Structure 1
């Protein structure tokens, strides 16, 4: 199966630094095949025979042992990532792609998750939910957003890792070439 792994919190603000070559080698040692990375923030595309849930848990444990800190890992199959990309509701020509984000939930969000996020949104921010994905448009930029800097796990009951539309498009493209 082709997976896209989104490692949470790597190489952000100079913290939790991991070289992508080391991350690729790590994944390959744990059964990944044809592993490719995209940019320096923990985005990997690979093939693996295991199911997503057990694989993510196994990788998280091994990652902490190898690198000395925890990183939650969100796995999506290629069809799941394509579906999330196609479902993005705020894509318009007059909006900047760098402010168009998708948050991928690690687990099942609280039933009121969308309501919580919508309540925090300013008049220039948009929020939508589709099962385990959350869609954001930060009209004023992510630096000023209360949502972008939110502790998702505390507010939504599950961790989110967020990627912009360009990154998601590139990950899909890489996965399609495997």
Structure 2
């Protein structure tokens, strides 16, 4: 079964450069099949050669060995990603302003983040996914997502709903146009 493997914090700024063609080749070397990449921000869709969670760890290990940095890889199948997308609790004014943040695990104490200021931005925790709606877009966010995740004590990687929709299309084997 195809899964989405989402790398945290690659190709943003000057650190953690991960060429997508090399990531695709690396996944294939590790035994994945039907490997596809969506945009240059660490979105890989593939059929893993066994347990998807174990493959995510193998990918993280292989990237660390080959490129010299380690990043978490969060894995979701189509059903989990679609359920999270469908559960988005905010009005979607613009899919680029609404985000899904798949987490490595559910926070132990979700109330620990109650003091993180968010201004007009909104966030909600649903299971192992964080949902965010930026009132003015992520580029002008009042909510500090890094601070929020730190307060929750979890690691996650944010994707706007346009990207989530594109990943769902890839998981469903539908054609996708890049933004």
The TM-score with structure 2 as length reference comes to 0.88
Q: 1:117 to 1:98 in 2, by over 3 A?
A: farther
What SS does structure 2 have at the residue aligned with 1:82?
helix
Q: 1:151 to 1:124 in 2, by over 3 A?
A: closer
Which 4+ residue blocks in structure 1 deviate beyond 6 angstroms? Answer: none
Structure 1 vs Structure 2 CA RMSD: 1.8
Greater strand proportion: 1
The equivalent of 2:151 in structure 1 is 155
- Where structure 2 has 5 or more consecutive residues not aligned to the other structure, the ranges are 175-179
C-alpha contact 2:60 2:72 (8 A) present in aligned 1: yes
C-alpha contact 1:36 1:44 (8 A) present in aligned 2: yes
C-alpha contact 2:113 2:148 (8 A) present in aligned 1: no
* CA shift for structure 1 position 151: 6.4
**Deviation by residue 1:78-134 (Cα, 9 ceiling, x = unmatched):** 111111111111133xx222110111101232222xx34453243411111111001
Tell me how far apart the structure 2 counterparts of residues 31 and 151 of structure 1 sit (CA, whole Å): 36
Higher mean alpha-carbon deviation, 56-65 vs 26-35, is at 56-65
The TM-score with structure 1 as length reference comes to 0.89
What SS does structure 2 have at the residue aligned with 1:75?
strand
- Where structure 1 has 5 or more consecutive residues not aligned to the other structure, the ranges are none
